[in-house]
Amino acid sequence: MSQPQAGTPKAEKPDKGAFPGTSAITAILREPRTEILGRARRGGIMLPFLVLFIVLSISSGPFFTKANLLAILDQQASTLIIAAAGTLVLVAGGIDLSVGATYALASVVATKLALSSSPVLAILAGIAVGLVVGLVNGVIATFFRINSLIATLAMSFVIAGLASLATSGNLIIAYTALGYAALARTSFLAVNTSTWTMIAVVIALGVVLSRTIAGRYMYAAGSNAEAARLAGVRVQLIRLTTFVISGGAAALGGIIDASRVLSAQASNGETTLTFTVLAGIVVGGTSILGGEGAIWRTVVGTLFIALIGNGFVLLGLNPLYEQITLGGILLIAVGADAWSRLRTR
């Protein structure tokens, strides 16, 4: 019986703890890129954010105060929740333009139920509405293979129509549902529960995207769907999951804002909200083409836009220029992403 020759490498045993396809997925995510451009994309938002923060702190006395900074976080709580979930969708290679309509529908459903049932049931029902909308979006965009931009845009009209039918075009007022208001108005350590809820959701989604196998699958699905599929990733299921999370987050955001003002309506600025969410995600450095992004960068990007709005108010600037500024920033962010991708090919 022949003996193995000296120097012959032994066959390595497979790692029983390894996840199927993990090495292949890692290879997908390690495609050659220019390191400088990669670092710029990953942390580019921090410098303009810090510069703007310092400029506002110097030019406006009320800006750098505890009351103003907490007010910014409280006002942006819903937007940050929706944007964090929307980051998962973009990273996985999709886009959700129905978040504004879902936000309105869920707030209407929850507010109407808060008048006749317990606040907990109302909140759960509103979130369930968002999850169902997300599931429908995911099925249409993945299993029926309809472009997610078109699918979710069309669904936004359907959802807005349902919200209008539910309210008959009227404002739903729930001033007597004081228990419902606790979701946004209760304070703990001088911080409103809406802010604490936002922090919890953002951290949870950040951990999912950056520290779990599911998050790695999202990056793989958005980076190279075909290669990920060959590596064993169920791309359709991953993308479907991100749409469901996005729908639930949009619903939660709508419920938080409705509980703050104890009212809801079918048309509640959903177009503006959708634009603000998408702008925050893209300005934060998440690629609209998928496979690139991070929750913390979305948070910074969204707060960057919020600081611009806050600065316009505190400095008494013409609000018409705010829209021009935001549009220009979004164009620059999208253009920078496209340029960096061309340079890394």
141 pLDDT more than 80: yes
pLDDT, residue 254, reads 95
* Helix 77-91 / helix 213-223 crossing angle, nearest 10 deg: 60
Tens-place pLDDT, residues 146-195: 999 999 999 999 999 999 999 988 899 988 888 898 888 888 888 999 99
- Residues 64-80 have a mean pLDDT of 95
Instruction: Say if residues 293 and 285 touch (Cβ distance below 8 Å).
Output: yes
65 pLDDT more than 60: yes
Pick from 202, 257, 209: nearest CA to 88: 209
- Residues 204-208 have a mean pLDDT of 97
Contacts of 270 by beta carbon, 8 Å cutoff, 6+ apart: 99, 100, 101, 103, 104, 156, 160
pLDDT, residue 149, reads 95
Average pLDDT of the chain to the nearest whole number? 86
pLDDT, residue 110, reads 95
More confident residue, 128 or 269: 128
pLDDT, residue 8, reads 46
- Residues 211-224 have a mean pLDDT of 95
Tens-place pLDDT, residues 96-132: 999 999 999 999 999 999 998 899 999 999 999 999 9
343 pLDDT more than 90: no
- Residue 298 tokens, joined: 């979305």
Q: What is the 3-state secondary structure (H, E, C) of 199-240?
A: HHHHHHHHHHHHHCHHHHHHHHHHHCHHHHHHCCCCHHHHHH
d(CA 107, CA 251): 7
Name the pLDDT band for 14 (thresholds 50, 70, 90). very low
Lowest mean pLDDT among 263-267, 325-329, 341-345: 341-345
3-state helix, strand, coil in the chain (%, to 5): 70, 0, 25
pLDDT, residue 9, reads 47
More confident residue, 276 or 34: 276
Tens-place pLDDT, residues 300-324: 999 999 999 999 999 988 888 888 8
The SS3 assignment for 191 reads strand
- Residues 232-256 have a mean pLDDT of 96
Q: Radius of gyration of the chain from Cα atoms? A: 22
* Other beta carbons within 10 Å of 153: 16
257 pLDDT more than 80: yes
Lowest mean pLDDT among 12-21, 54-63, 109-118, 205-214: 12-21
- Residues 60-75 have a mean pLDDT of 94
- For residue 3, what are the CA distances in angstroms to 6, 11, 12, 13, 136? 9, 15, 18, 20, 62
33 pLDDT more than 90: no
d(CA 298, CA 294): 7
Name the pLDDT band for 39 (thresholds 50, 70, 90). low
pLDDT, residue 2, reads 46
Exposure string of 289-303, with b = 16+ CB inside 10 Å and e = fewer, is: ebbbbbbbbbbbbbb
Q: What domains appear along the chain, each with residue ranges and CATH number?
A: 35-343 (1.10.3470)
Name the pLDDT band for 17 (thresholds 50, 70, 90). very low
pLDDT, residue 202, reads 97
Q: What is the share, in percent, of the chain residues with pLDDT greater than 70?
A: 85
> What one-letter code names the amino acid at 145?
R
d(CA 72, CA 74): 5
CA of residue 113 relative to chain centroid, distance: 27
